[in-house]
Amino acid sequence: MSESPEVTAVEIARLAGVGRAAVSNWRRRHPDFPQPVGGTEASPTFPLDRVESWLRGQGKIVELPLLERVWQQLEALRDPAGHPAALLLPAGAFLLLLHRAPERWNALEREPDTRLALALPQALAELSTATLGPPGTALLALPTLYGSTQLELARLLARLAAEHGAAAGYEQLLTRYAEANSRQVSPTPPDAAALLAALAAAEPHLHGELRSVLDPACGLGALLLALPTDVVRHGQELDPVPAAAALLRLALHTPAATPGPLPLHLAPGDSLRADAHPGLLADAVLCQPPYNERDWGHDELRYDSRWLLDQVPPRAESELAWLLHCLAHTRPGGLTALLLPPTVASRRAGRRLRAELLRSGALRAVVALPAGVAPPYGVPLHLWLLRRPDPQEPTAVPRRLLLLDATATQPAAAATGGRDRIGWPELRRTVLETWHAFDGAARTGGPAPADRPGVHRVLDVIDLLDDETDLSPARHLPPAAPIGGAGALEHLHGRLAEVLAGLAGLDEALPPVVEPAERTAAPMITIGELVRAGALEVHSSGQGPAVTRSAADGGPGAAVLTEQDLTAGHAPTQLTDASADLVLTRPGDVLTPALGAGAAVVVRAGDPADGVALGRQLHLLRPDPAVLDAEFVAGRLRSTAGSRRASSHASTTARLDVRRVQLPRLPIERQRELGEAFRRVAAFETELRRAGELGRRLAQGLTDGLAEGDLTPR
């Protein structure tokens, strides 16, 4: 192990907010650039302290973020031959101590290092046993002695927890780990996990209180984390290190006052070959299993008792083996929900098993989701919803299947793809409302919801049992009806003409610009420095408040502005019942998303974004109007240079560290002059985006009407 942190060229690029090629150029052009001290010829490592000093001397960074210091300290401790996430376990255990027993650390930190080296590991072991039970402590495999580097890491973690909270600090470390190991780690995103959790949480309306949930391929615990903390959560993960990290993650998000041991039962191992929860019948099973496994245990599990319906999953259908495993762990009548590749609905090898799932009534719905919902992000996954057949259910109940194409409600995602284009509020509402209407009708014997062309359809099972038993929703849905006939299209055409005419006026209102006679570089200051000077407040929402329902449902509660609402210019689409620790927007605030770059909005009185709570992954900047102009700050955030150096690019999505954004030091009068120009440009862009959406809808409506024969050219 290194005695001091070392960084690679990629990590240096992250520190400076540049590409890796820039670091290579610095090494060639600057003889005083620090020399490598380790690594390989293809991927050398450099001493962090010298790199940081060099970057600061060159004016390329002002300060090293605390999270970066913590991460580099973890890297310095990491065993190159060990698991890349192993150091996250003692770090998470220490954060758990700060979460549940901060007074113990307050007493310990005053001890000399010679005593702290033994006392701190002992305190962590005692707390983990009391919180997670002996099996959980054994899974963590915590060290019994700390060195000076580990004690320094503990002090940095204490600072991180003081700034962001223990749970949020651990989330930042897990996110950084996932970004650094993106090829090996593909966690289910929070929005997708929340959708599956909402399906499970809705169960009490029909079947009593939700008591227990299982995820047999839990990874870092994203699906279990989305559930209420009073639910008994079971999980299994093949790799013991992520299993332990998931256990700590769930414990950190459980209220500190909850008595231990917590109702968390996570175990390592192969769920198919070595089931860690034999005999468990959970109220709901949620899972995103591994895909396309060739060696999942077909031969040795041929006669396993978990294969319900007397069907052994085909060797090439590992996803169906996981499906039957989940169904076997669901209580009769309980819900099973899985995210699966679309090929599972149509591959010939699984035809017989799909037919048996239909005949038994176990399979209730197949939902097509847009690409970008969950990894692999380029694949439009399917959501399968099943109920384990209940012996008490009358056999005469007609067997029906709900086929729902949720991509029909996502024109932006369907047109351009990408996880940042998913309109989660609308997607969630479509899936939940359609499923509840169908499932409620199936259980009460009422009429099934009426078909909605292009979106959903309910079919009798007998109509699906053919030579292929293809359950892909798009194959069975009738085409979407035109948007309202020629009259509606003419109305849409008129609206588009009005917007285009308005754009002509806005074009005239765009600020006239010229090149300055002499360009002088103004001194720069970071937003972090402005915060310390009292000229600006920054509030970051993190995961945001717990969203309880859609704003369309009405009722009491605070409106929550989501990232999608902000970027699309929509009114808040979600509500929360939370009342404590809510940061509400007010006129003059600047809002910008933490993921992505180039979006920033100034809140104005009476706006839909005025007086609402921040949803997940949003930053709120509250400038002092006597010192900073809000429109000037927003314009700088929207600029390419303004956000580029403050964003990390370790994954396909840029993550903005808003405190590192640099602003030029300008007099307030000059700021207001530039701010007004920024405002006029932003208004033009907003109307341009609106015209594009109207034009897309008009073109699609004309195309569909002509193609289906509902319209004809004059």
CATH number of 303's domain: 3.40.50.150
Q: Mean pLDDT over residues 85-114, rounded?
A: 92
Is residue 176 in some structural domain? no
pLDDT digits (tens, 9 = 90+) for 665-705: 999 999 999 999 998 888 888 888 888 888 887 888 888 77
525 compared with 648, residue with greater pLDDT = 525
Is residue 650 in some structural domain? yes
Q: Which amino acid is at 539?
A: H
CB distance 179 to 650 below 8 Å: yes
CB distance 374 to 381 below 8 Å: yes
**How far is the C-alpha of 18 from the C-alpha of 11, rounded, in Å?**
10
Domain of residue 346, residue span: 198-217+271-476
Backbone angles phi, psi at 619, to 5 degrees: -110, 140
Q: Mean pLDDT over residues 51-80, rounded?
A: 78
**How far is the C-alpha of 684 from the C-alpha of 696, rounded, in Å?**
18
* Same domain as 467, residue 539: no
Q: Tell how many helices (H) and how many strands (E) occur in the chain.
A: 24, 24
Name the range with the highest mean pLDDT among 137-141, 474-478, 491-495, 562-566: 137-141
Is residue 360 in some structural domain? yes
**How far is the C-alpha of 675 from the C-alpha of 681, rounded, in Å?**
10
CB distance 653 to 595 below 8 Å: yes
Is residue 487 in some structural domain? no
Among 476, 511, 539, the domain-final residue is 476
- With cut-offs at 50, 70 and 90, classify the pLDDT of residue 506: low
CATH of residue 546's domain is 3.90.220.20
What was the pLDDT predicted at 197?
A: 93
Encoded tokens for 153: 């890491």
- pLDDT beyond 60 at 624: yes
**How far is the C-alpha of 372 from the C-alpha of 89, rounded, in Å?**
30
pLDDT digits (tens, 9 = 90+) for 144-191: 999 888 899 999 999 999 988 999 999 999 988 888 787 778 889 999
The percentage of residues in the chain with a pLDDT greater than 90, rounded to a whole number, is 41
**Weakest-pLDDT range from 131-145, 165-179, 355-369, 397-411:** 397-411
548 compared with 267, residue with greater pLDDT = 267
Encoded tokens for 195: 């959708």
Among 443, 476, 509, the domain-final residue is 476
* Same domain as 449, residue 303: yes
Which residue is it, tokens 């002996």? 134
Please tell me the total count of domains within the chain: 3
Strand partners, 264: 233
Is residue 74 in some structural domain? no
Neighbours of 305 (CB within 10 A): 8
* Same domain as 546, residue 428: no
Strand partners, 559: 575
- With cut-offs at 50, 70 and 90, classify the pLDDT of residue 206: very low
Closest CA to 561 of 516, 630, 609: 609
What's the gap between Cα 571 and its chain centre?
A: 21
Backbone angles phi, psi at 512, to 5 degrees: -70, 140
Sheet with 212-215: list strands edge to edge: 264-268, 232-237, 212-215, 282-287, 330-340, 382-387, 363-368, 400-405, 456-460
pLDDT digits (tens, 9 = 90+) for 9-33: 877 877 776 777 788 888 888 888 8
**How far is the C-alpha of 258 from the C-alpha of 269, rounded, in Å?**
28
* Same domain as 565, residue 423: no
* Same domain as 547, residue 447: no
Is residue 568 in some structural domain? yes
Residues in the chain, total: 714
Beta strand 647-648 with 618-623 is unpaired
Encoded tokens for 282: 């959970």
- With cut-offs at 50, 70 and 90, classify the pLDDT of residue 1: very low
Is residue 412 in some structural domain? yes
Contacting residues for 361 by C-beta, under 8 A, at least 6 apart: 387, 389, 393, 397, 399, 461
* Same domain as 387, residue 458: yes
CB distance 600 to 637 below 8 Å: yes
Q: Mean pLDDT over residues 94-113, rounded?
A: 93
Contacting residues for 325 by C-beta, under 8 A, at least 6 apart: 216, 271, 272, 275, 306
* Same domain as 547, residue 462: no
Encoded tokens for 555: 């009722």
- With cut-offs at 50, 70 and 90, classify the pLDDT of residue 286: very high
Beta strand 363-368 with 400-405 is parallel
* Same domain as 528, residue 472: no
Which residue is it, tokens 């954060």? 95
What was the pLDDT predicted at 252?
A: 95
- pLDDT beyond 90 at 381: yes
Mean pLDDT of the chain: 84
CB distance 327 to 308 below 8 Å: yes
What was the pLDDT predicted at 554?
A: 62
Helix (H) or strand (E) holding 204: helix 204-207
For every residue of 552-592, which 3-state class applies, written as one string? HHCCCCEEEECHHHHHHCCCCCEEECCCCCCCECCCCCEEE
Q: Mean pLDDT over residues 321-349, rounded?
A: 94
Among 53, 79, 97, the domain-final residue is 53
* Same domain as 580, residue 464: no
* Same domain as 432, residue 570: no
pLDDT digits (tens, 9 = 90+) for 209-253: 789 999 999 999 999 999 999 999 999 999 999 999 999 999 999
* Same domain as 462, residue 316: yes
pTM over 0.75: no
Is residue 629 in some structural domain? yes
CB distance 224 to 231 below 8 Å: no
* Same domain as 319, residue 203: yes
